[in-house]
Structure 1
Amino acid sequence: MRTWRKLSRLAASATMAGCLALAGTSAAVAEATPAQGKAALTCGAGVFLDGIRALAVTESGRDEVFLTSNGVKIWPAGSAYVSMAVNQRVEVDKCVPNGAQLRLVEVDDLDPDDVIGGQTINGDVTRDYEFCCGDGGRYRIGAVA
């Protein structure tokens, strides 16, 4: 079984190297900037939201959060929220337009949802945006211009 896995990985690496050679891109360049490559390929003139990290949570243990852009929920796509603990990082992998108004919201079952924080995305630089401090929560999201 281990031999089969090794052969599969070798075949995948060879295929990737062949594709990069055809495209005129070196493997070192492709591996050095994976997030920037994803942004350029998928976002066009928009901004790529990479991953979000919980620096402090509002409740004991975990927060249930979701992200909106210009008032529309964009993340997570397959569920109502993502449950996050302190220092946990979760991929967002979403594109938003330059100038988008992002809000990070914490779901409350009994009360209205709490806005942890908001940011306006400035698409001319790659940087981290911090959402703070509604209800004591603090989160950071990476954005690739």
Structure 2
Amino acid sequence: MQHLPFSVDLRLRTQHLSIGEMTGGVADDVLRQEVHPGKWSAIDNIAHLAVFHPIFQRRLQRVADEETPLFEPYVWQEDALFAEYRKLSNRELLVQYRHDREAFVRFVEGLKAGDFRRQGRHQAYGTVSAAQLIEMFVLHESHHLFTIFKLLNFGK
């Protein structure tokens, strides 16, 4: 995608693969363990990341269609898709994740050059361009990937 920095494009296309590399050989009961009571398990983190594909796709579509739309904050407790995804086995979730990522990448590839410069408003971060939203997406994903890595390797 020539309208994104090389590293953002590369991470968008490949970063998610590390989820399967980290968790593919781990039993579901281990992935569901709450290492820290009341905090998300590894599978919860994966489910959370998976639901962000359609959320960010809708946000990007709004940026393309509307004049500086305001994005409501994400509330995981009210997200029915998150509740559904966190019940899946890791294998099922990884398949869904790959499918959703492929659809998201196709959507981003279909954006027009001018769409990447169009803007929306995020309640926490202010005015952001579509290109910045995509970078936020991959940075948000990397944060949770590191959390999953720590939970599986260090119990932190």
- How does the TM-score come out when normalised to structure 2? 0.24
Structure of higher CA gyration radius: 1
Structure number with the bigger relative contact order (C-alpha 8 A, sep ≥ 6) is 2
More helix by share: 2
* Structure-1-length-normalised TM-score: 0.26
